[in-house]
Amino acid sequence: MSYALIFPGQGSQSVGMGREIYEAFPSAKNVFDEADDALSEHLTNLIFEGDEAELTLTRNAQPAIMTVSIAALKVLTEEMGANVSPFCMAGHSLGEYTALCASGVMNFAEAVRLVRNRGAFMQEAVPEGKGGMAALIGASHDDAVKLCDSVAPNGEVSPANFNCPGQVVISGLTEFVDAAIANAKSFGIKRALKLSVSAPFHSRYMKPAAEKLKSEFAKITWHDASYDIIANVDAKPVRSASEIQARLYAQTFSPVLWEDSVAYMADSGVDSFYEIGPGEVLSGLVKKCRKGMNLLSASTPEKLEALRGKLEV
């Protein structure tokens, strides 16, 4: 059995996530405490008891999801004694940073501060209301590109996530996103849904955020990855710290090639995908990308115990 560990991105957050492992396992509580210390604020209170809208803000959601994911991984390895040795790791957008932390590229305190800043930089790059995103359901890669080119010949809206067959997310200036939604059916696209986000992530409008991130990269102690990381930006493995930084920079304003990443992993012999962190979004996407894969999403004591059992087989 060859497996990949995958880590969720923004949109998987919910108030109360991670509370069970926090209350049951000291190693999980330590991760939450470390996040609070690193950010000099009570992220834990926001995660467990905060307002859903506040938790959903990009600058909060990103460190919150990472914290729950790393806490779950610590429970699996330190409390349950699982021998974790994946073929590779990957994550969706924010989740790529979690994968890097999990593979030893940066320590958790540095990682959680970095993604807090990443969220803030992405939010600041475009004034609220000026940018947005939409999901195209029943759209091929080519359909999405042709639709965007037709309503925005200068790239004001473009594909941002190639998630799975028939699901592409587009991103850009609000008026062009709205035009794409209005014209989607004429390109054979079944549905186009406006997403509840406040910025055009993974579009060219994120380049100012990428420049600020590059400055933050210089403050971090980087290490080569312990496992191959399948990068969002090109769906290829990377381990070198310098190459990782280059890909993270480009990831900020480039499409997330999740469908291609799953295909690469499956074609390389991965037959099991284990999602570490809140929600089951990535497991659902993997299921649509490639049939017959073994899937498990784990962030509760019961699911983590089940995963430990699979890792021992």
Catalytic sites, residue numbers: 93, 202
User: Do 72 and 298 meet the contact criterion of CB atoms below 8 Å apart?
Assistant: yes
Question: Rounded to an integer, what distance in angstroms lies between the CA atom of residue 275 and that of residue 297?
Answer: 4
Q: How many CB atoms lie within 10 A of CB 234?
A: 16
Report which DSSP code applies to 16.
Answer: T
**DSSP structure string for 147-202:** HHHHH-TTSSEEEEEEEETEEEEEEEEHHHHHHHHHHGGGGT-SEEEE-S-SS-TT
Backbone φ and ψ for 230, nearest 5 degrees, come out as -85, 110
Burial of 196 (0-12, 13-18, 19+ CB in 10 A): exposed
**Cα-based distances in Å from 208 to 72, 122, 158, 213:** 33, 8, 17, 9
Name residue, tokens 């996103």: 177
Rg (CA), the chain: 19
